Amino acid sequence: MSTVEAAAPATAPSAAEFHRLRAEIAAYVAGPAEEWARRIEASGTVPQALWTELREHGYLSLAAPREYGGRGLSFPQWMELIELFSRSHASLRMIVHVVNGTWRAIDRFATAEQRERFVLPSVAGRIKVAFTLTEPQAGSGADIRCTVVREGDTYYLTGVKHLITFGVRCDYWLLAARLAGSSGHQGTVALMVPRAAAGVTVEDTSQTMGVTGTDHARLTFDRTPVPVANRLGAEGDGLAVALGGFLTPSRISVAMSCVGLASRAQQLALEYARGRVTFGKPLTSRQALQFMLAENESDIEAARQLALHAARRWEAGDPDTAMLSSMAKLTAVDMLTRVTDKALQIHGGSGYWKSSPIERVYRDARAQRFEEGTNEIQKAVVFRELLQRAEAAR
């Protein structure tokens, strides 16, 4: 019997407690996290020691309820902290973002027994879970092609997934598939697939332009057996687990990640402009650069407020949250593109060298353009919701 029956709302930290936590994380990001960033960029890998340190600090369970061993943060509070983590190395942010999000998708549909097996160990950092939706020959939605056939108490899984973050080093893949012969949302299932299951080929595809060190995988399943007991929710709930349980709040989190990374780019650009002297004057005396930095600051704040608004509405259970999360994500991504481009331009040629911190920020920013869906996908979601709203009002 589960010791925790449901993710009931927990008491959020007081303003004073949250202020102390925020200050602690800001100091961590400015200090130890910068050293980790140097080590990751030099080696090209994220050492297990970083995962351990983040877990020991409690940073991998910040968003979980106190009953689960977390800090009981409200979702807007969590977004404020993800902004801070996003000013650090992208792989560090990715660890914190994913681990603080996957438990929520599982928990929403978990039985008491599944909560004990999957949710609580994930929050405690005893297991790693990789969100596994994207496929090479399909979009990330109702057209997924990975299929399962049920034989007694076992599903047999066949198909291919790719671009799966932490798909190499995880313990379970939180995977969406469909019943063989089905179509649309109603045929989908969500499964907790063990990393050690038979019939799986794991290809490490971690060599990326940015987000250095985060492992990614291409997964091929050939009648991989998965116990029916590892299904989350009912048959037909697969995309509800994946989209509502993970992607909607995760898109808000990615929007705030863009805000954090943009803030770091702005900080670097301002520092460089204050110190760089041309023709006897600092760059900050040049009106063209003043305007670029002013535009950046305005862009960042606008995206921050939209992301926080989406976070508040998601926590309140607003039916428009899917639309708001996509609006926040596409707005923040476009903002990040503009801000990092201007920040690099302010650095001039020196910003193009790997010895300059803005070079890594610029590379990492490009990944946000497709994390949790491209802007084209976000626009499609917004238009779909907009059209449904208009038709309902007729």
Contacts 24+ apart (CB under 8 A), 35-42: 36/88, 36/89, 36/92, 37/88, 37/89, 37/92, 37/360, 40/89, 40/91, 40/92, 40/212, 40/213, 41/89, 41/212, 41/354, 41/360
Residue 9 per-residue DSSP state: P
What is the rounded distance in angstroms from the CA atom of residue 40 to the CA atom of residue 257? Answer: 19
DSSP string, 273-328: HHH-EETTEEGGG-HHHHHHHHHHHHHHHHHHHHHHHHHHHHHTT-TTHHHHHHHH
DSSP string, 19-45: HHHHHHHHHHHHTHHHHHHHHHHHHSS
Report yes or no on whether pTM surpasses 0.75: yes
Look at residue 7 in the predicted model and tell me its pLDDT: 41
What is the rounded distance in angstroms from the CA atom of residue 96 to the CA atom of residue 55? Answer: 9
Residue 234 per-residue DSSP state: S
Look at residue 199 in the predicted model and tell me its pLDDT: 98
Look at residue 61 in the predicted model and tell me its pLDDT: 95
What is the rounded distance in angstroms from the CA atom of residue 4 to the CA atom of residue 103? Answer: 14
> Left if phi > 0, otherwise alpha if psi is -120 to 50, otherwise beta: which for 211?
left
Three-state SS for 229? Answer: helix
Q: Which domains, and CATH codes, for the chain?
A: 15-127 (1.10.540.10), 130-236 (2.40.110.10), 239-392 (1.20.140.10)
Look at residue 247 in the predicted model and tell me its pLDDT: 85
What is the rounded distance in angstroms from the CA atom of residue 64 to the CA atom of residue 80? Answer: 15
Our CA dihedral for 100, 103, 108, 111, rounded to 10 degrees, sits at: -160
The residues that are catalytic are 372
What is the rounded distance in angstroms from the CA atom of residue 327 to the CA atom of residue 255? Answer: 9
Residue 31 exposed, middle or buried by CB count within 10 Å (0-12, 13-18, 19+): exposed
Look at residue 9 in the predicted model and tell me its pLDDT: 45
Mean pLDDT by 10 residues, the chain (394 residues): 38 90 98 96 95 96 94 95 97 95 94 97 95 88 91 98 95 97 90 98 93 95 98 95 86 97 98 95 95 98 98 94 95 98 96 94 94 90 92 87
Look at residue 92 in the predicted model and tell me its pLDDT: 97
For β-strands 129-132 and 172-179, DSSP reports them as parallel
